[in-house]
Structure 1
Amino acid sequence: MLLFNDHTTLDFIGPHTAFAGAGMKVHLISSTLEPVVSDTGVTITPTVTFDDCPARLDILFVPGGSVDKVMLDSAAIAFLADRGATASYITSVCTGSLVLAAAGLLDGYRAATHWSTRDHLARLGVEVSTERVCIDRNRFSGGGVTAGIDFGLTVTAHALGETTAKFAQLAMEYDPMPPLDAGSPQGAGPEVVAQFHEWAVKADDNLRNSVSRVLEQRTAAGSGTAGSS
């Protein structure tokens, strides 16, 4: 599981709880072992660095959050491209799919992301799914934030079997009954959606700029004049 500053903790904690409950060994990976800080101020300590991470991973996972910087982090992108070449499952939740796309790991694949960032994922040449959990061959991606729990159980069922996934679900007592019907733009209604867009305008601008940078780098590389930033 890749970690970086400004990630959304629930994006990976949901899957982490499912994976750990199924008995998987989980590596929390970052460039250094220095604590990383989430987009809400939660501090997480990585367990392994890019250099020390096992060369072969069964599941490569990227959470979302404010991903505009990590999309342009050459070390993180190189790590993902390297491990993604051999991983059995290449996965993400929320805007983590944009990071996978920046690493070239979603070329020719369908993937999900947070509902508010689907246009950005499409700009990167990815076929955008509106499913809560999208499966395209060995690419598994979840929608926004809470979809990570459904995603984690889905990956567990595919990797270790349905009985193991059921055990992990029972251990979490995952039996959701949302108190409100506002978990989608359709349920929340136009007024709440407008409030969300107003709140997220700066993050959306940053993400748009990062997507543009990634596309510029690809164009430069394709023309034989690639540089790095």
Structure 2
Amino acid sequence: MDRREFNTTLAALSLLNLVAPAAMAQPTPSNRLRVGMLIHSDMILLDLVGPLTVFNIMQADVQLIGKTAQPVITDVRVAVAPTVSFDNAPKPLDVLFVPGGLKGTVAAMQDRQTVDFIKEQGNAARLVTSVCTGSLLLGAAGLLKGYQATSHWYVLHLLPHMGAVTRTDRVVEDRNRMTGGGVTAGIDLALTIAARLAGEDTAKRIQLLIEYDPKPPFNAGSPEQAGQAIAGEVLKRRQELIREAEAAAKAAGATMNL
């Protein structure tokens, strides 16, 4: 091994040790956390990638679960290929994770096979989690009935149709349910999951490694901060999809006798 190879190897080992203590540095397949991340057409790619990065650094056994083995097209037109399908997804999972994306969420809420799969996996999983509008899918599967939860701000009011109790926190924990707000809250959610399952020190190491220290250029990350004019324009642009989501939420709630 020459000096360059030695330095490269040393850097890689140092990076690994930054994230995980020695006892966790090389988990065996039998003790790795099993994370199943649902993927669906028109999901928001950022909903998936932020948490996926955190779970990968945790050295979890992450499976991207698609309805079929075919790749799905995300909101930014980037294809994501599943590693498993509904038919061969592992069970039980330590973490079931559902991303959002309003168009894709509404379509998935109206797909009985998807809703039934989420319900089956959620009833067996150690943690049931979502980010953004993914909580609507958890709600449609009956997994938020009687639980506190959050979602993207423009559909948060729809969760009570499916029995959830809404909160506006960026991440909401209620027993084994953990939900995050819109899009970028996925990183907060994943770090919260890491702290819950691997310890706070591990979560802090991951946060440092990805340099998650947000300082947004504008104070406009919530409707209250952005102001009525900007929030109203967003709602106007999304109103048709929000109406479809409301209809889907009410239909799901009707099957729960709420």
TM-score normalised by length of structure 2? 0.82
Residue aligned with 2:38, SS: coil
Are the aligned partners of 1:12 and 1:63 in contact in 2 as well (CA < 8 Å)? yes
Instruction: State the one-letter code of the partner of 1:52.
Output: N
The 2-side partners of 1:73 and 1:196 are apart by 27
Deviation per residue, 1:169-226 (Å, 9 max, x gap): 122111111010000111111111111011111211211121232234445xx9xxxx
The 2-side partners of 1:28 and 1:38 are apart by 14
Instruction: State the one-letter code of the partner of 1:170.
Output: L
Q: How does 1:205-220 map to 2 (within 5 A)?
A: 205-219=243-257
Partner of 2:55: 19
* Structure 2 residue 39 is the aligned partner of structure 1 residue 3: yes
The 2-side partners of 1:25 and 1:171 are apart by 20
The 1-side partners of 2:69 and 2:48 are apart by 18
Cα-Cα RMSD: 1.3
Are the aligned partners of 2:142 and 2:162 in contact in 1 as well (CA < 8 Å)? no
Tell me whether 73-82 or 130-139 shows the greater mean CA deviation: 73-82
Deviation per residue, 1:145-169 (Å, 9 max, x gap): 1100111000000011112111211
Q: How does 1:46-195 map to 2 (within 5 A)?
A: 46-66=82-102, 67-195=105-233
Deviation per residue, 1:90-124 (Å, 9 max, x gap): 00001111100111111111001011111111221
Instruction: State the one-letter code of the partner of 2:155.
Output: T
Are the aligned partners of 1:21 and 1:171 in contact in 2 as well (CA < 8 Å)? no
Are the aligned partners of 2:162 and 2:256 in contact in 1 as well (CA < 8 Å)? no
Q: 1:33 aligns with which of 50, 69, 82?
A: 69
The 1-side partners of 2:194 and 2:256 are apart by 34
The answer for unaligned runs of 5 or more in structure 2 is 1-36
The 2-side partners of 1:24 and 1:53 are apart by 15
TM-score normalised by length of structure 1? 0.92
Residue aligned with 1:28, SS: strand
Are the aligned partners of 1:22 and 1:167 in contact in 2 as well (CA < 8 Å)? no
Deviation per residue, 1:11-63 (Å, 9 max, x gap): 12111111111111111001111111112322111110011111210001101
Q: Hey, which bits of structure 1, 4+ residues long, moved more than 2 A?
A: 215-219
The answer for unaligned runs of 5 or more in structure 1 is 223-229
Larger Rg: 2
Residue aligned with 1:151, SS: helix
Partner of 1:199: 237
Are the aligned partners of 2:163 and 2:253 in contact in 1 as well (CA < 8 Å)? no
Tell me whether 207-216 or 190-199 shows the greater mean CA deviation: 207-216
Q: How many residues align?
A: 220
